[in-house]
A and B are shown apart, each in its own frame.
Chain A
Amino acid sequence: MKMLNVALPKGRLGEKVYAMFETAGFECHSIKENNRKLIFENEECGVRYFWVKPSDVAIYVERGAADIGVCGKDILLEYSPDVYELYDLDIGKCRMAVAAKKDFTDDVKRTLKVATKFTNIAKNYYDSLGRDIDIIHLNGSIEIAPILGLSDVIVDIVETGTTLKENDLEVVETIVPISARLIANKASFKFKSELIEKIIRSMENQND
């Protein structure tokens, strides 16, 4: 029997996604045990799950270590992995947005300083506007960049907006809505399409 390898994003989103797989008939009870294991297998159902860092899911799938996986649209937009994007799970919803200090006004005569983790998304967005920008790549605590004068604006994921509010920032523009997507390795899909289609159909029913 062919095993289906599934990369799940560690964290709350991953747990929700696993519940959807379980409902689809691909349960693996050992995954609920409280331990530090990262790989779980249910030979009877022909499925193997692994927990990986959310931003790494696309790499596992693109390189074929996982046949399918679930990751945010932000990761797909940022890294453009060569994978199939098969289904929008409609969970993990948030948006990619431009945020700035409350009194910010964009001075178009100057180059705009943009701090972000999502360099490509920011670049593509401002390219589409024809705006000259200076990208400052940061790995975390992006919100403090405008406060300390490191940047004029930030491009980041906004879920509830609480972190922005607490740091006196606000959303200036929404770039794109984000949600979790089911992705598949292109070659794996050729040889395991029936299994993958079954999962998608079940997820569609769950979301109806």
Chain B
Amino acid sequence: MTLYDSVLKNEEKAIFALRGLYESYGYSQYKMSKFEEYDLYVKNKDFLISDSVITFTDRGGKLMALKPDVTLSILKNGKDAPGQVQKVYYNENVYRVSGESFKEIMQVGLECIGDTDSYCLYETLMLAAKSLETISDEYVLDISHLGIISAVFDAVALPEDCRASALKFIGEKNLHELSALCALVNIGEKETAILKGLVTNYGKPSEVLPKLKELICANTESLIELETILSAFEGSEIYDKLRIDFSVVHDIRYYNGIVFKGFIEGIPEGVLSGGQYDKLLANMGRRSGAIGFAIYLDLLERMSETDKKYDVDILLLYDDDTDITLLSKEIASLSRNASVMAQKKIPEKLKYAKLMKFDGSEAKEV
């Protein structure tokens, strides 16, 4: 019997499973250094989740950073090539400032960069859903489309300077403040109802898509794109776990199309976050499209696990006169079915299931 299942933590098990999943769709691992020039993050500071970056000066006097994000480093090194799509995944630690202290976060993620098309969008969403499924059966993947939100903003003629606030209220499912904002800038009743529809319409695609079409009254390009991609999931088990929900709102300065967030029951935050970030590439002077996601594995620690009752199955006591060859053979035999710790005295605070004593030839239960 191997003890791996009981020894490995949730996040460690997830890493193995996810790497296998991504490799099976032809994604190759992108391995990188822990350090990056700080300059890269200054230019795209708002793309980072955490405001502060941990920096240090290298031996040549250059300001360096402990990587707070992997995507920017991958983008920095790629090249645009028509018809080509770079498919990579990573499994890296990133470093962030959290309150007064520093935090090392284990992250697994995937990026699809280049001449991306509807299939790439579908594949990324599918792999996001499958990633969540790898971790737990009780998951949902919330999907939004920033193109639809922008189209609605245009259709109701929402003033440019109110859009950030409106987006924030949609993200909070905050109908009362959204209504107040509309009243403040004299948006009509009918138009306000359309905007509020972005908050009230959420749920399974089969239920929400028809309502959205009715609400928006026009087939915007973005809505057609979302419908096309979601229809590719119809009939699969994943389809049941997908939800359209416009409260997923990533920064519109970097993200443009489909954005999504994954939740697992029992974990109080979204564990997976991703989307299309063509605008970030454009900001970096590239012409390609890109979509990707990251999974915050540190959050899996919070998944409810049955508490381990014992630190070790067997505590085996021996004394100074014990023949270590005989002792080692006995331990090898016992450890086939259980974890065994050999000690001369019972360690303080150790919780063991069974206490045994080695009498010189064999272990006997005490």
Which one, B17-25, B170-178, B213-221, B315-323, is touching chain A?
Answer: B170-178
Once the chains bind, are A187 and B172 in contact (CB under 8 Å)? no
List the A side residues contacting B172 at CB < 8 Å. 83-85
Once the chains bind, are B173 and A190 in contact (CB under 8 Å)? no
Residues in A59-96 with C-beta less than 8 Å from chain B: 62-65, 82-88
Once the chains bind, are A64 and B142 in contact (CB under 8 Å)? no
Which one, B92-100, B265-273, B278-286, is touching chain A?
Answer: B265-273
Write the B168-197 contact mask toward A (1 if CB under 8 angstroms, else 0): 000011111100000000000000000000
The smallest C-beta distance from A148 to any residue of chain B, in angstroms, reads 31
A185 contacts partner chain B, Cβ-Cβ < 8 Å: yes
Residues in B159-173 with C-beta less than 8 Å from chain A: 172-173
Once the chains bind, are A186 and B263 in contact (CB under 8 Å)? yes
Once the chains bind, are A88 and B176 in contact (CB under 8 Å)? yes
B39 contacts partner chain A, Cβ-Cβ < 8 Å: no
Q: Which residues of B contact A (CB under 8 A)?
A: 138, 140, 142, 172-177, 243, 247, 263-265, 267-270
In the A-B complex, the 5 residue pairs with the closest CB atoms: A64-B268, A88-B176, A85-B174, A84-B173, A85-B172
List the A side residues contacting B142 at CB < 8 Å. 190
A62, A84, A186, A191: most-surrounded residue (chain B CB, <10 A): A186
Given known contacts A84-B173, A85-B172, A85-B174, A188 and B268 CB-to-CB distance under 8 angstroms: yes
Once the chains bind, are A187 and B173 in contact (CB under 8 Å)? no
The smallest C-beta distance from B260 to any residue of chain A, in angstroms, reads 13
List the B side residues contacting A84 at CB < 8 Å. 172-174, 247
B142, B269, B270: most-surrounded residue (chain A CB, <10 A): B269
Residues in A35-81 with C-beta less than 8 Å from chain B: 62-65
List the B side residues contacting A190 at CB < 8 Å. 140, 142, 243, 263, 265
List the B side residues contacting A63 at CB < 8 Å. 268
Q: How far does the alpha carbon of A63 sit from the alpha carbon of B243 in the complex, in Å?
A: 23
Contacting B176 at CB < 8 Å: which of A62, A83, A87, A185?
Answer: A87
Once the chains bind, are B269 and A64 in contact (CB under 8 Å)? yes
Once the chains bind, are B173 and A185 in contact (CB under 8 Å)? no
Q: How far does the alpha carbon of A82 sit from the alpha carbon of B172 in the complex, in Å?
A: 8
Once the chains bind, are A85 and B177 in contact (CB under 8 Å)? yes
Residue ID in chain B nearest A82 by CB atoms: B269
Listed by A's residue number, 23 A-B pairs whose Cβ atoms lie within 8 Å are A62-B268, A63-B268, A64-B267, A84-B172, A84-B174, A84-B247, A85-B173, A86-B174, A87-B175, A88-B176, A185-B268, A186-B247, A186-B263, A186-B269, A186-B270, A187-B267, A187-B269, A187-B270, A188-B268, A190-B140, A190-B265, A191-B140, A191-B265
Q: How far does the alpha carbon of A65 sit from the alpha carbon of B142 in the complex, in Å?
A: 22
Q: How far does the alpha carbon of A189 sit from the alpha carbon of B203 in the complex, in Å?
A: 12
> Does more than half of chain A's interface fall in helix, strand or loop, or is it mixed?
mixed
List the A side residues contacting B265 at CB < 8 Å. 187, 190-191
Known contacts A65-B268, A186-B270, then 6 further A-B pairs from the complex at CB < 8 Å, ordered by chain A residue: A64-B267, A84-B173, A84-B247, A85-B177, A87-B176, A185-B268
Q: Which residues of A contact B (CB under 8 A)?
A: 62-65, 82-88, 185-191
List the A side residues contacting B247 at CB < 8 Å. 84, 186
Q: How far does the alpha carbon of A185 sit from the alpha carbon of B265 in the complex, in Å?
A: 12
The smallest C-beta distance from A1 to any residue of chain B, in angstroms, reads 14
List the B side residues contacting A185 at CB < 8 Å. 268
The smallest C-beta distance from B252 to any residue of chain A, in angstroms, reads 18
List the A side residues contacting B173 at CB < 8 Å. 84-86, 189
List the A side residues contacting B177 at CB < 8 Å. 85
The smallest C-beta distance from A112 to any residue of chain B, in angstroms, reads 26
The smallest C-beta distance from B175 to any residue of chain A, in angstroms, reads 8
Q: How far does the alpha carbon of A189 sit from the alpha carbon of B174 in the complex, in Å?
A: 14
Q: How far does the alpha carbon of A187 sit from the alpha carbon of B172 in the complex, in Å?
A: 13
List the B side residues contacting A87 at CB < 8 Å. 175-176
Q: How far does the alpha carbon of A114 sit from the alpha carbon of B269 in the complex, in Å?
A: 36
Q: How far does the alpha carbon of A88 sit from the alpha carbon of B174 in the complex, in Å?
A: 9
The smallest C-beta distance from B265 to any residue of chain A, in angstroms, reads 5
Once the chains bind, are A191 and B138 in contact (CB under 8 Å)? yes
Q: How far does the alpha carbon of A84 sit from the alpha carbon of B176 in the complex, in Å?
A: 12
List the A side residues contacting B270 at CB < 8 Å. 186-187
Q: How far does the alpha carbon of A187 sit from the alpha carbon of B136 in the complex, in Å?
A: 14
List the B side residues contacting A85 at CB < 8 Å. 172-174, 177
Residue ID in chain A nearest B173 by CB atoms: A84
The smallest C-beta distance from B26 to any residue of chain A, in angstroms, reads 31
List the A side residues contacting B175 at CB < 8 Å. 86-87
List the B side residues contacting A62 at CB < 8 Å. 268
Q: How far does the alpha carbon of A43 sit from the alpha carbon of B245 in the complex, in Å?
A: 31
Residue ID in chain A nearest B264 by CB atoms: A187
List the A side residues contacting B243 at CB < 8 Å. 190
Q: How far does the alpha carbon of A191 sit from the alpha carbon of B176 in the complex, in Å?
A: 23
Residue ID in chain B nearest A83 by CB atoms: B172
The smallest C-beta distance from A91 to any residue of chain B, in angstroms, reads 13
Residue ID in chain A nearest B267 by CB atoms: A187
The smallest C-beta distance from A84 to any residue of chain B, in angstroms, reads 4
A185, A187, A188: most-surrounded residue (chain B CB, <10 A): A187
Once the chains bind, are B176 and A187 in contact (CB under 8 Å)? no
Q: How far does the alpha carbon of A88 sit from the alpha carbon of B172 in the complex, in Å?
A: 13
The smallest C-beta distance from A185 to any residue of chain B, in angstroms, reads 6
List the A side residues contacting B174 at CB < 8 Å. 84-86
